[in-house]
Structure 1
């Protein structure tokens, strides 16, 4: 989540970053020019451009406000769910970091799986999830934490967060096979990794599930018709 400093009163009216006015300015300018043309034509040629009854616009405005309210709620629900999933991922990653201390609890294991390796993969997973969900975002600065034996798979993978989770699971299975952790401890650690995978799947679902096209089409069509017809209802 991007948290920006609160603007002062002057900046509140002139700030552009984070404002939608940049995207809708061409449409606003087009409606303004249309309104100017309609008013001029109504005064100069009232026989061609007549005033319309403004009552239907009130009914259409009510319907449009309902559509806009529903869309705002849908967008807020998506943001709120994403916030909860990211918070849950942070909690699970910290839990995995604490649970990985089990890898150091038994001594005398030949070629033990390093706890540092598990923690590094979890760190890279969180950073790569950002890049995975935001195409074009800056590349992860923690790629140097990738172990050499996973570097090739990491470079070729199309879903790097999922690949990193498979790497963590493989390391835990290897640690169990070497007697470094017991079967019960493996199940506990694997359950934590599964929670990280669930957070990944939820974030991907939010990223790849837009507002239904039919609903967006109805909303945009109604809004454009309302804005284009409104000058004719208020020419007087």
Structure 2
């Protein structure tokens, strides 16, 4: 995620970090070269190119704008839902920390065990939504028998929530917690399970491919046909004009692809490392640790 103040007027044209331009530069160059070819052909064979007004492309341009606008809105909804889910994770995780401290105390072995499992759960979910192996990092927080159980599980974050649930059941049987108090704990666990299911929904349900393919095809067709219709009227300015149009359309398309994957490690992906580190610091403080890890740094305006 890019975190920076709005640059000044001149700096806007030279910002590289966080800009979508480098990723669509091949398409922009291709359209500009095609336009330059049209300019050369028009100079030698002017009769091949009819004089068209901009209204000739307005209808297709409006349709393309509507498609891109709708797709960007849908992708932003996915990005915002991902952020909302991780906000809910932090709220429910902090509620569990508060309940554990209130009913067990910071020196309780059961409190220590639950907090370490909560840290493992957050890191495991982060790695799972990013298609990474979470097991190496979990070794810092779980016992060997717990690691073996989580590793063999189909859904590892849910397995960690299961460990916490079993711990609560054991405490009820031993009289450490009464059923009413445990119900408050269970409500938090159910909410965390909803977060896991929501993240799986975002990861397993992309936008329909046919819709994405339609937008891509129209973008390319429009940008390839545009210099043919403009060269007779705009002459040498055709490559510049078509390059600007290509930057707008292909840039919006590329941006929507990044927002469609809110958990991706891209410039516009959610800062899951930062949120995970924030929760880890709070958990360690709840364990009574004095030396906490530093917050996740922001490098080159990019927070991961």
1:164 to partner: Cα distance: 0.9
1:74 to partner: Cα distance: 0.9
Matched residues in 2 for 1:16 and 1:173: separation?
Answer: 54
CA shift in 2, pair 1:192/1:61, >3 Å: same
The residue that corresponds to 2:89 in the other structure is: 89
Counterpart among 135, 140, 146 of residue 144 in structure 1: 140
Counterpart among 199, 209, 216 of residue 212 in structure 2: 216
Structure 1: gaps of 5 or more residues: 106-111
CA shift in 2, pair 1:185/1:130, >3 Å: same
CA shift in 2, pair 1:25/1:122, >3 Å: same
Question: How do 1:159-174 and structure 2 match up within 5 A?
Answer: 159-174=155-170
Q: Per-residue CA shift, 1:16-50, capped at 9, x if unaligned?
A: 33222222111111111111111211221234455
Conserved in 2, the CA contact under 8 Å of 1:89 and 1:199? yes
Conserved in 1, the CA contact under 8 Å of 2:128 and 2:134? no
Counterpart among 107, 128, 138 of residue 132 in structure 1: 128
Structure 2: gaps of 5 or more residues: 233-304
The residue that corresponds to 1:59 in the other structure is: 59
The residue that corresponds to 2:225 in the other structure is: 229
Q: Of the two structures, which has the highest relative contact order with CA contacts closer than 8 Å and spacing of 6 or more?
A: 2
Q: When the two structures are superposed, what TM-score results if normalisation uses the length of structure 1?
A: 0.86
Conserved in 1, the CA contact under 8 Å of 2:123 and 2:134? no
Matched residues in 2 for 1:136 and 1:171: separation?
Answer: 28
Matched residues in 1 for 2:40 and 2:93: separation?
Answer: 65
The residue that corresponds to 2:3 in the other structure is: 4
Matched residues in 1 for 2:150 and 2:133: separation?
Answer: 18
Matched residues in 2 for 1:215 and 1:8: separation?
Answer: 34
The residue that corresponds to 1:109 in the other structure is: none
The residue that corresponds to 1:197 in the other structure is: 193
Larger Rg: 1
CA shift in 2, pair 1:75/1:186, >3 Å: same
CA shift in 2, pair 1:155/1:205, >3 Å: same
Q: When the two structures are superposed, what TM-score results if normalisation uses the length of structure 2?
A: 0.68
The residue that corresponds to 1:38 in the other structure is: 38
Conserved in 1, the CA contact under 8 Å of 2:161 and 2:189? yes
The residue that corresponds to 2:119 in the other structure is: 123
1:154 to partner: Cα distance: 2.9
Structure 1 residue runs of 4+, over 6 Å off?
Answer: 137-140
Decide which moves more: 56-65 or 149-158: 149-158
What's the C-alpha RMSD, in Å, of the aligned pairs? 2.5
